[in-house]
Amino acid sequence: MSNQPSKELIELFHAAMDGTATEEQRLLLEQQLLEDPETYRSFVEHCQLHAMLAWEHGSLDALKFPIDRSNSKESTVKTPQRSWTGLRTLIFLAASALFVIVSIGLFYRPDAWWKNESTIPSIAQSSGHSHIPWEERDVVGRVTGRSGGTVTILDDDFVLGEEAEVRTGRYRLGDGFVQLTLDNDIEILLESPAEFELVSNMRMTLSRGRMSAVLPEEGRGFLVETPTAQLVDHGTAFAIDASNESASEIHVFQGEVSVRPLKASPGADDVFLRTNQATLIRGDSAIPEGIDIDHDRFIRQLTEPELPEPNFGPQVREFDVAYYFRMPLPADGKTLRNKGSKKVGAKLYTSGMSSPPFKPGVVGSGLYLDGPNSQAYAAVENYEPSPSNQLTVCAWVWAESRPRWAAIAKHWAMEFPKDKQRYEGLGGQFHFGLHDDFGDLELQVRDSQGGVQKLREQSPLPLRSWQFVAFVADGKQVQLYRNGKLVAEAECDGLATDGPGALGIGAKLNPQGTEADPRNPGFWHGRIDELAIFHKALSQRQLMMLCDIARKHKELPAKP
């Protein structure tokens, strides 16, 4: 060795080899071995020397020297032959030294001491916390945030409380989102449904679900195993989608990670992903597949981002908004907070959904509903329609498909029976969404005399892209907009002020407002963000201003 290890380091080596190292000592040794190649080589040499000395100096209890009496009964000459038992003990000791190396992660070298990382052991097979009582397991971090987020400890079958410690072991996230901060400042955000195991503050498995992570410098070397791949971080922000157990996707938003299929052959190279790159690893394949990075799939923080001025939210409130649903992640996972003057929130009805009703929005998070499949929606109880002759409603929407009469927001309890000549029902002010099966942007508004004015864009709403949609009733006319541009208009004398006592978001409600309408519910399939309702008429210039501000936040391209 070019440099002799210090006395303190040698003592650390011995503690690791004889099994007396504390968790703090083990992590300290692991960090030094990961960072310093000389320390690593020194430790390996000490493991070898330890085995050799034990063999040469007879410190192996199982070692025996049989007496050779083949020449004479009286012969007392001892022939020192090492027995098979002693040889097995030596092999065991050498293997034990090797196990020490494996157990503290030395087969992973982040600085690529060897190019092929095929020797990383499978975490799923190496962990074994289930037999250790919860109180005796190592603390590796804390719960630092959640939206809903019911976390169950699988081995002990109890639920983690608010801001609880997290220890090594297996967990299930049954609903919502949960944020974990490990004691080395690695931040992990998990999306339900998910099952995962914390092996240490530097290793985990994600058996099912989605996660994103932000790692400080101290987190370099963090390892995540999925059912199909192993990921080693080199200082980065990344996300993993293992919601499909037969495949895993790894997306790198900043920095670099190395990824290895679990079925890769020993000589195969890892795939190195850098900023804005992603890969797909299928369970039945050893070959990584490059894919486009997806910035719109993963929730990466629980709070709304801080944005530069001009900021979309303050600008909306400056226009004196009555109902304003920004769609941030709610702490309880069940309600939508109203930032407008009316202060009446919305309740989520999403029991049919298998995943949380939130995905990335134009600004922060957005409401996600998966259409007729789960029949999810939100409802504003005790909704107050505009008391004046003026009304503006605007929102950012993302459509995955165009279900029949898909609803953006509807204050409507009217039907037009085929055997009748006029609308029937409790009334309402507006019916805002997509038209029937054609799927173009559509609006129905009732005037002060109860007449229904209808407007349509006449071309299907684009799918899988953000669209800023709005309508304005100024007492004389009603106008329909998409991305700040006028697409239809009609005369409309005032506004009706009757109707149901609830507003549907993502669905039309029944007249009582207690559930989705059984005839034409119009379940929205996609996202709705920044829904704002004004009891006044905004100008086209003001709508275009809001559209442009949000586009700059999201860095969306200008669209017709």
- Give the CATH number of the domain where residue 238 resides: 2.60.120.1440
Q: For residue 279, list its beta bridge partners.
A: 250, 290
Please give the tally of structural domains in the chain.
2
**Domain boundary residue, one of 231, 256, 291:** 291
- Which residue spans within 246-341 are E strands per DSSP? 247-261, 271-274, 277-282, 289-291, 323-325, 335-336
| In a shared domain, residues 278 and 350 | no
> How much is the pLDDT for 36?
67
> How much is the pLDDT for 56?
46
Q: For residue 204, list its beta bridge partners.
A: 198, 224
509 within some domain: yes
> How much is the pLDDT for 489?
98
Task: Give the helix/strand (H/E) hosting 99.
Answer: helix 84-103
Q: What amino acid occupies position 469? A: V
Burial class (CB in 10 A: 0-12, 13-18, 19+), 333: buried
Helix (H, G, I), strand (E, B) or coil at 366: strand
445 within some domain: yes
**Domain boundary residue, one of 291, 321, 345:** 291
> How much is the pLDDT for 107?
40
CB 537 within 8 A of CB 393: no
CATH at 396: 2.60.120.200
pLDDT single digits (tens) 446-478:
999 999 999 999 999 999 999 999 999 999 999
| In a shared domain, residues 266 and 323 | no
Q: For residue 516, list its beta bridge partners.
A: 509
Where does residue 157 fall: left (phi above 0), alpha (psi -120 to 50 degrees), or beta otherwise?
left
| In a shared domain, residues 330 and 390 | yes
484 within some domain: yes
| In a shared domain, residues 317 and 281 | no
Beta carbons within 8 Å of 427's beta carbon, 6+ residues apart: 413, 414, 446, 450, 496, 498, 499, 500
Q: Which residue ranges of the chain lie beneath pLDDT 50?
A: 1-2, 54-95, 97-99, 102-120, 123-126, 558-560
Helices (H), 110-204: 123-126
| In a shared domain, residues 282 and 326 | no
252 within some domain: yes
| In a shared domain, residues 430 and 507 | yes
| In a shared domain, residues 397 and 476 | yes
**pTM, rounded to two decimals:** 0.77
105 within some domain: no
Total Cβ atoms within 10 A of residue 384: 16
Helix (H, G, I), strand (E, B) or coil at 416: coil
| In a shared domain, residues 391 and 257 | no
> How much is the pLDDT for 343?
87
Written as six digits, the tokens of 392 are 């503006």
| In a shared domain, residues 368 and 259 | no
Task: State which residues form the domain around 253.
Answer: 137-291
Helix (H, G, I), strand (E, B) or coil at 246: coil
500 within some domain: yes
CB 194 within 8 A of CB 166: no
391 within some domain: yes
CB 500 within 8 A of CB 512: yes
| Rounded-to-10 torsion of CA 319, 321, 327, 332 | 140
User: Cα(85)–Cα(77) distance, rounded to whole angstroms?
Assistant: 21
63 within some domain: no
**Maximal C-alpha separation, the chain:** 128
| In a shared domain, residues 190 and 339 | no
| In a shared domain, residues 346 and 254 | no
CB 531 within 8 A of CB 409: yes
**Domain boundary residue, one of 291, 322, 349:** 291
| In a shared domain, residues 285 and 316 | no
